[in-house]
Structure 1
Amino acid sequence: MLEGKNVLLGVCGSIAAYKSAALVRLLVKAGADVQVVMTPDSTNFITPLTLSTLSKNPVYHEYFKPETGEWNNHVELGLWADIMLIAPASANTMAKMASGLVDNLLTAVYLSAKCPVYFAPAMDLDMWKHDATQDNINQLKSFGNILIPPGNGELASGLHGEGRMAEPEEIVAFLQADIKKGLPLVNKKVLVTAGPTHEAIDPVRFISNHSSGKMGFALADELASLGADVILIAGPTVQLSKYKSIRRIDVLSAADMLDACLAHFETSDACIMCAAVADYTPTIVANKKIKKNESYFNIELKKTTDILKTLGTQKRSGQVLVGFALETNNEEDNAIEKLRKKNLDLIVLNSLNDAGAGFKNDTNKVTLIDNALNKTVFELKSKTEVARDICVKVIDLINK
């Protein structure tokens, strides 16, 4: 759930600041881009160099760099973040946050942040229990800030009780669980196919098409960002997924893709067949390289199994099946015929007649047609934006 997220970590002056190193490491390991902002006092507990090395980003703790006079823009930092996490959050900083007092870069960034703000308090037992601290926490919660409760254990003073900052592993788990709650495709399994297939002629030659896999990979990334458990079946392509959570299965031929789809379709809530699967494959595959002898050379081809039609016959009630139609003529009629013949819930139509659409481009222009023949026409967009539009419709179909 943290993959690809911009996480702004605020570190306050507390002995618990030593845990910030482990916290940064865990956030980076989870796939987040981490930027650290420290209060001046926190640098007495852990060095900016340590956190900069672990985060692979500069660490900010002053309004400007004295040696150059360059301003550390708190507004830009606040806008950059998808999540702001203040851990450890000291009693002093929480009081400033609650009252709107801005006397350091961290509190300035806090007031500029437009994203969800999480705070993990760290302090001694009596400070934690004090009415002023509890009032400040309630005030922060009323602002919509999210408390990560402290643990119970040995404190720096030697006392035992509440006030100990949650462990880094607990904080990361809390963030992941909280983010996951608000995503529309949590606990939904979505199968996506992408790229071309290669149909072997001999050990060195094959029949294929110009599909790059860009559209299918964009869809897989968007679905993962929405909380889905994504299985991506990919033909030969150089594309890479943005999210480590995506389970990628590499295949070569149409037959390989069919087998992989059948292995996972039954347990999927939705399936988006974006791959450009070969319609024909050689009847005989030579086991040695075919030598160039004759002026003419014929290859006998046979039809491959229609994967989309096969899945359409197996589709259960409530399962969503999406196909693609790349057309050059009678585009809409052909797409609707495919939608009906293959028992689809949605078809994504694109035309090679539209400039900027089709294979290899970073853009696409699509029309979505559902099984009630409701039609939505979109302008030319990046494939990332097209993936978002398709996923909005898929979510509607899943929730019907």
Structure 2
Amino acid sequence: MSRILLIVGGGIAAYKACEIIRLLRKGGHSVRCVLTEGGSHFVTPMTLAALSEQEVHTTLWDLKDEAEMGHIQLSRQADLVLVAPATADLLARMAGGLANDLATTLLLATDKPVLAAPAMNVRMWQHPATQRNVAQLRADGVRIMAPDEGAMACGEFGPGRLPEPTAIVAEVERQLGLAPAPADAVGQIAAPGARLAGKHVLVTAGPTHEPIDPVRYIANRSSGKQGFAIAGALAALGARVTLVAGPVSLPTPPGVSRIDVETAREMHAAVDAALPADAAVLVAAVADWRSDGAAEQKIKKDGTGTLPDLRLVENPDILAGLGRGSQRPRLLIGFAAETENVVPHAQAKLARKGADWIVANDVSGDVMGGEANAVHLVSAAAVETWEHMPKQAVADRLAARIADALENVS
């Protein structure tokens, strides 16, 4: 019988702790609970005590327990410490090494495996601060389950829901060596050594800027958000990710190696230098043309109405070059930003570029620069239409599909 110490964080998902306890007990495990102050607003110590048949601990300042250094004993007597739900605040305090209540104190004192199941609003989960904290915890050896995706109590949709109790209990047993990892465990555990461990994935993101003169340039409205989200999702599955980024001001996702470029030719050179790679996801909206010889000084109006002679030349085709190259990745994915005939254009691009998949979307609205996307995953075999969802959710789903593909490609 394994001994589980369950820390119940504050949040509406705290009610699921009751089902987690029931399933753990049903599986023959002993459960002892630590209820945080926030968690006590959603479930009561009496409920947890009745389900676990163990005393519930709520404070660091219990005279009887702490006379015997109770927090040290709690942290050492368990076989595994489970934090569920792990709120954004609790993850932040864990990552910072704080010890300002019973839960964080015993987490700092434990020498046993720690598994955390996050639950929070989608924007809170996607916030760079939360992702930094998650990356730090992974580096410290904490196992972090990927949150589920779906509708939330706040009315928003996306990743951030507490994983189902059955999935949490299954992960507990895997961490204890009592059950094998299932072959279809897509994104269940977001730690180094996960599904893409040992794989190198190359990602491009953002626009390129093609100078006309020292002041002006040719560009497009790409924000880089989708590409950065994909890079972060791949890193969360354990991949070594090289992100070649055009001129954007987004923070680098945790665990991602970033190379900043400005022009299409610089991006082309950076992509070639990053090879070989197991997979490449070319999300960047690379400018098709550049000025044939940028002016060294600002081009001025002379008052006569004479227009400058702006001659354009074609930029290198990075996707097609990879498709034909000797170091072609095993999985080559391009993006197609279209304003009409989205799927037919994507199918034509797939054949023309030699890619395995094209992710196509309609950018005639506010997709470029926006927070959501609706895409079609186009391959030679089929066209999958994904529902409109946050860009992070698109990234998570695509990363899982890439993991599936690389596991099945020799």
Report the TM-score range of the alignment, normalised by the length of the smaller protein: 0.5 to 0.7
**Alpha carbons of 1:43 and 1:269: their partners in 2 closer, same or farther (altered >3 Å)?**
farther
| 1:103-128 Cα deviation digits (max 9, x unpaired) | xxxxxxxxx9985799xxxxxxxxxx
Scaled by the length of structure 1, what TM-score is found? 0.58
2:180 match: none
2:292 match: 283
Distance in 2 between residues matched to 1:363 and 1:179, nearest whole Å: 26
Larger Rg: 1
2:260 match: 250
1:393 match: 401
Give the secondary structure class of the aligned counterpart of 2:208: coil
Are 2:101 and 1:60 equivalent residues in the alignment?
A: yes
| 1:162-196 Cα deviation digits (max 9, x unpaired) | xxxxxxxxxxxxxxx99434x11010000000000
Contact 1:79 1:113 in 2 (8 A): no
1:108 match: none
Q: Map of 1:1-400 to 2, 5 A cutoff?
A: 40=62, 41=65, 55=96, 59-61=100-102, 80=119, 115=168, 146=176, 179-181=191-193, 183-243=194-254, 245-265=255-275, 267-293=276-302, 294-295=304-305, 296-314=307-325, 316=327, 319-353=330-364, 355=365, 358-370=367-379, 372-398=380-406, 399-400=408-409
Distance in 1 between residues matched to 2:190 and 2:232, nearest whole Å: 20
- The amino acid across from 1:343 in the alignment is G
- The amino acid across from 1:241 in the alignment is T
Distance in 2 between residues matched to 1:222 and 1:264, nearest whole Å: 19
Contact 1:190 1:228 in 2 (8 A): yes
**Alpha carbons of 1:78 and 1:201: their partners in 2 closer, same or farther (altered >3 Å)?**
closer
**In percent, how many aligned pairs have the same letter?**
33
| 1:228-285 Cα deviation digits (max 9, x unpaired) | 0000000000111330x200000010010000001113x1000000000011001011
Scaled by the length of structure 2, what TM-score is found? 0.57
| Count of matched residue positions in the alignment of Structure 1 and Structure 2 | 271
2:45 match: none
Q: Using the TM superposition, give the Cα deviation of residue 349 of structure 1 relative to its aligned residue in structure 2, in angstroms.
A: 0.8
Contact 2:191 2:236 in 1 (8 A): no
Give the secondary structure class of the aligned counterpart of 1:260: helix
Contact 2:191 2:237 in 1 (8 A): no
**Alpha carbons of 1:53 and 1:249: their partners in 2 closer, same or farther (altered >3 Å)?**
closer
Distance in 1 between residues matched to 2:215 and 2:336, nearest whole Å: 30
Distance in 2 between residues matched to 1:232 and 1:8, nearest whole Å: 37
Distance in 2 between residues matched to 1:43 and 1:341, nearest whole Å: 74
Contact 2:71 2:102 in 1 (8 A): no
**Alpha carbons of 1:297 and 1:222: their partners in 2 closer, same or farther (altered >3 Å)?**
same
Distance in 2 between residues matched to 1:231 and 1:335, nearest whole Å: 25
**Alpha carbons of 1:59 and 1:290: their partners in 2 closer, same or farther (altered >3 Å)?**
same
CA RMSD of aligned residues (A): 4.0
Contact 1:79 1:114 in 2 (8 A): no
Q: Using the TM superposition, give the Cα deviation of residue 319 of structure 1 relative to its aligned residue in structure 2, in angstroms.
A: 1.0
- The amino acid across from 1:234 in the alignment is A
Q: Using the TM superposition, give the Cα deviation of residue 344 of structure 1 relative to its aligned residue in structure 2, in angstroms.
A: 0.3
Q: Using the TM superposition, give the Cα deviation of residue 318 of structure 1 relative to its aligned residue in structure 2, in angstroms.
A: 6.5
Distance in 1 between residues matched to 2:391 and 2:375, nearest whole Å: 10
1:136 match: none
Structure 1: unaligned runs, 5 residues or longer: 1-6, 13-35, 63-76, 88-111, 119-140, 148-176
Structure 2: unaligned runs, 5 residues or longer: 1-6, 10-31, 35-57, 73-91, 104-115, 121-133, 142-164, 178-188
